[in-house]
A and B are shown apart, each in its own frame.
Chain A
Amino acid sequence: MSEPILKIDNLRTSFRIKDDYYPAVDGVSLTVNKNELLAIVGESGCGKSALAFSIMNLHSRAKIEGNINFKGQNIVNLPTSKLNKLRGKDMGMIFQDPLTALNPLMIIGEQIGEILLIHGTNSAEKRKERVLELLNKVGIPRPEHVFNQFPHELSGGMRQRVVIAMAIANNPELLIADEPTTALDVTIQSQILDLIKELKEESGAGVILITHDLGVVAEMADRVAVMYAGQIVEIADVYTLFENPLHPYTRSLLNSVPTANEEQSTLHVIQGVVPALQNLPREGCRFGARIPWIADSAHEKNPQLHEVSPGHFVRCTCYKDFHFPDRDKEGNRHVVS
């Protein structure tokens, strides 16, 4: 059943700042299986987009090291000409902001048609036929009309549907969606997410869904990877992650969502901020600085991912000792002195 289509091994993506390279993705390993939706969550700047862009090799200036195995070959630093045979065909991408992801001077039909043309649909008629079919599939009313429209004539939700139509045009085996609904309204958000899910189930593709909305994760994901400061700190199937989160960061995140809390209580706040790329500690646990009430001696030196139960990995060994400042280890509230 679980047949991997993407296997990332020790991926490291570094950006050049001044004269040095700093890894924004720092030793990430993960797999995505057929017909599986892997959600990647984490706060702003933790390297989610950097990871997604590395898979498609869309960074203009970055050093990418490690292994990304896709369809039996390592695609890291694959020559662009070879990569172009995969991009848009076997892997598709949905971007965050549908307002800027489309070329403002091209009609919708031409933009979706282009991806078909690039990958070998030479007949203009066949392309048009397929574009209309795709527009229909992503739920755009009056496809014939939209075909000849320019992006600025469509609403945000419609544009995101167009972007999705484009990403699935060649029935990719891997679909990467980088915060596909952050720029959209709640009602439209749920429609778009339902659409992505439907498409996944229909085609059996593997999907990587990047988001910082844990509600979205709970609704969509099969498996979840939690990222912090360029590393995966916890990875598990969705039920385990929500029911038995182990890593302090995961637990903090889950506690800071308004809907997750008893009404009117105060929300949990993660102290401090994610340090800038240049200032990330490369030694010791990266999360340590944000849970100052846990004594330094409690932390593992350089925490590695440990498998705590089948398929559940945590980058921390002292999670058993972790507790929130206002609660004891059993989770019972006590008044902070």
Chain B
Amino acid sequence: MWKFSIRRIMIMIPQVILLSIIVFMLAKMMPGDALTGLIDPNVDPNTIAEKREELGLNDPWYEQYTRWVAGVFTGDLGQSFHFKMPVSELVWQRIVNSFWLSLLTLVLTYLIAIPLGITSGRYNDSWADRLITGYTYIGFAAPLFIFALVMLWIFGFHLGWFPTGGSVKPGLTPGTFEYVMSKLYHMLLPALSMALITTVSTVQYLRSEIIDTKQKDFILTARAKGASESRVYNRHILRNSLLPIAAFFGYEITGLIGGSIFIENIFGYPGMGQLFLNSILLRDYSVVTSLVLLFGILTILGTLLSDIILSLVDPRIRIK
């Protein structure tokens, strides 16, 4: 087990290095550089050139890259020219917001997926199953951002049940109960919108896992033991079908990153997704590259997590 995880992590290292090189190259290919934003356009081009030399922007790419990596390791991700503050500080605020939003989305995703998937798989070909399958088809077909806009319009603007922007009501002191509730309240609609769409793949996956497991020979064994229907489901079918779902968890995180870019922008929620899109629009490249790197690392971590979970819960892999 440990060997397995360590090996996975070892495989991860070159992935991250490769990712960082790609990100760095992309940043270099984009028009302008760190100075373009910092320096007043009226300044003499000679001074800029000097400054460039001084900052080492004319050095070969690998030297710049090494310096950049050293920076990343010490937490220096550069300066955001738009917000006029270090990228690391800026990102940190947003990470916290995004983290809570993602967590709530995940919880909702599973709250929806597990009962629906189980019902659909257990009573497949019933009307309930058809209804649920119908919903998953709609979920697959509907683009997330359109669905989110519709949700925002109905529940935010039209019915006015939920706030339409921000992450907390202004003026509340952090740490108070009201503050927490307000945060939750602000997150609920975006999280639900995203969960309703992203959950469909999990519902379908769980459904087909259950239908598959139902036909396994060991289920016959369980029935031949005299196990009641509920016991057959709870002890044998669910346990064996939820396992791959658990392993899916890490990949779910990857999906959330993509989704959050849409959701946070539509709901005006100050998280990393919103920051990402804004920074692109504002050409705040140091922020963009940092975020790409971060998203990339999260994706790789998600995959790693999936593998580790799978190896934890499945004895057939665990033993090796």
Binding site for B on A (CB under 8 A): 56, 58, 80-81, 83-89, 92-93, 95, 97, 100-106, 114-115, 118-119, 150, 152-153, 163, 166-167
Contacts and interface: CB of A to CB of B under 8 A. Distances in A.
Given A56-B224, A105-B240, A152-B316, A100 B218 contact: yes
Interface residue tally on B, bucketed by range: 20 to 34
A152 B220 CA distance: 18
Chain B contact residues: over half helix, strand or loop, or mixed?
A: helix
Interface in B203-229: 216-218, 220-229
B224 A105 contact: no
A290 B220 CA distance: 35
Contacts of A101: 217-218, 220-221
Interface stretch (B2-10, B18-26, B27-35, B231-239): B231-239
A42 to B, nearest CB: 21
Given A105-B239, A105-B243, A118 B231 contact: yes
Contacts of B170: none
A115 B225 contact: yes
Nearest to B218: A103
B178 interface: no
Contacts of B229: 80
20 contacts: A56-B223, A58-B220, A84-B226, A84-B227, A87-B224, A88-B224, A89-B226, A95-B217, A95-B221, A101-B218, A102-B221, A103-B218, A103-B222, A104-B240, A105-B314, A115-B225, A150-B319, A152-B316, A153-B319, A167-B224
A166 B220 contact: no
B216 A100 contact: yes
B224 A102 contact: no
B315 interface: yes
Nearest to A89: B226
B223 A58 contact: yes
A100 B212 CA distance: 13
Contacts of A166: 221, 225
Contacts of B239: 105-106
Nearest to B229: A80
Given A58-B220, A87-B223, A106-B239, 18 more contacts: A58-B223, A81-B228, A83-B226, A84-B228, A88-B224, A89-B226, A97-B217, A103-B236, A104-B218, A104-B316, A105-B240, A114-B222, A114-B225, A115-B226, A118-B227, A118-B228, A150-B319, A153-B319
B315 to A, nearest CB: 4
Nearest to B221: A101
Contacts of B228: 80-81, 84, 118
A37 to B, nearest CB: 19
B87 to A, nearest CB: 46
Given A102-B221, A103-B218, A103-B240, A86 B315 contact: no
A93 B225 CA distance: 8
A102 B225 contact: no
A106 B220 CA distance: 15
List of 10 A-B pairs having minimum Cβ-Cβ separation, nearest first: A88-B226, A88-B225, A87-B226, A100-B217, A93-B224, A115-B225, A84-B226, A103-B218, A150-B315, A101-B221
Contacts of B217: 95, 97, 100-101
A105 B315 contact: yes
Nearest to B215: A60
A101 B221 CA distance: 6
A150 B316 contact: yes
A105 B236 CA distance: 9
A277 B157 CA distance: 63
A334 B220 CA distance: 51
A236 to B, nearest CB: 29
Nearest to B319: A153
A83 B225 CA distance: 11
A89 to B, nearest CB: 6
Contacts of A118: 225-228, 231
Contacts of B235: 114
Interface centre among B224, B231, B319 (most CB of A within 10 A): B224
B226 A85 contact: yes
B208 to A, nearest CB: 17
Contacts of B218: 100-104
A81 B217 CA distance: 21
